[in-house]
A = this chain, B = another copy of it.
Amino acid sequence: MQNRARVLIDCKDSKGLVYKVSKLFYELNLNIDSNQEFVEKEDMHFFMRSVVTGNFNPQILEESLKEILGSDVDVKVLPPSKKNIILMATKESHALGDILIRHQAGELDANILAVVANRDNLKPLVEQFNIPFIYISADNLSREEHENLVLQEIYKYSFDYIVLAKYMRILTPNFISKNDGKIINIHHSFLPAFIGANPYKQAYERGVKIIGATAHFVTNDLDEGPIIAQDVVSVNHRFTWRDMQQAGRDVEKIVLSRALKLVLEDRVFVYRNKTVVF
């Protein structure tokens, strides 16, 4: 029974961790296809991601690792499998469309279960990819009422991640805590940051020369969760704020898809308010 799995270890650092793990792999006669470790020096926290192949049972391997490393260590042995994701959007198609195209091309190791949106204009796009489009208008609803309808719909599915592909509504702490560590967001980023309405207009008025995008996990701290990926694009004074927005969209979609890919491959560890990305 030839198997393949990703081994993820996340714990307080201590002497002999690599030794203990590699010893077990050796005794089980596993091949290590790739292996990355990292010690967060401020707190002496240890992270490890190995891809192993061999004749083993993933569940038993996980238990053996827990025995060796102690019960308080976060260990996961994940056989390769598609993650299930829910996409949420509002009306812009760039980030959503990029994920749909990649998914159809087999680039993403995921099943897209559904797209939930608070506007209906993306329905034709989504349905042409044969993916369920769930339109939940927020008109005349309180934030809580709307989110309850959303939760009701998405909980019909068993999902691993919710990807906010330019979902333009602020989520409540209730929604976030119910899906803790599962929500990925993309948002524009500027140097410096602009607070308030229409940041692109503010960026234009400030004459920024660079526009960025940040993909991150969502925590209660709005737009402030652990960063997964970032990138930027150059702009200049000839860009209107709409041109800046367009430039921003290009970098947003690439960064969100890059982040999603990293998450789907179990390459991202979250620790405190940051990530370790192998």
Contact = CB atoms under 8 A, between A and B. Distances in A.
Interface of A: 15-16, 18-19, 22-23, 25-26, 29, 31-42, 92-94, 97-98, 100-102, 104-105, 107, 125, 128-129, 189-193, 204-210, 212, 214, 223-224, 226-227, 229-232, 234, 236-238, 240, 246, 250, 254, 257-258, 272-277
A62 B235 CA distance: 32
Contacts of A40: 237
Contacts of A94: 101-102, 105
B15 A19 contact: no
Given A129-B128, A230-B191, A277-B236, A101 B105 contact: no
Given A191-B212, A205-B273, A207-B226, 11 more contacts: A15-B31, A33-B39, A35-B39, A41-B240, A92-B105, A93-B101, A93-B104, A101-B125, A128-B128, A206-B227, A206-B273
B208 A230 contact: yes
Task: Determine how many copies of this chain the complex contains.
Answer: 4
Name the residue among A105, A192, A227, A234 with the largest chain B CB count within 10 angstroms.
A192
B276 A237 contact: yes
A237 to B, nearest CB: 5
Per CB-CB distance, the 3 closest pairs between chain A and chain B, nearest first, are A207-B274, A97-B101, A189-B191
A85 to B, nearest CB: 19
Nearest to A250: B254
A104 B98 CA distance: 13
Contacts of A212: 191, 210, 232
A229 B208 CA distance: 8
Given A26-B15, A193-B192, A237-B276, A35 B34 contact: no
Nearest to A201: B42
Given A94-B101, A98-B101, A101-B97, A230 B210 contact: yes
Contacts of A190: 191
A37 B35 contact: yes
A18 B15 contact: no
12 contacts: A15-B26, A19-B23, A34-B238, A42-B204, A100-B101, A104-B125, A191-B193, A192-B214, A207-B226, A207-B275, A209-B230, A209-B277
Nearest to A101: B97
Contact of A22 (B19, B223, B276): B19
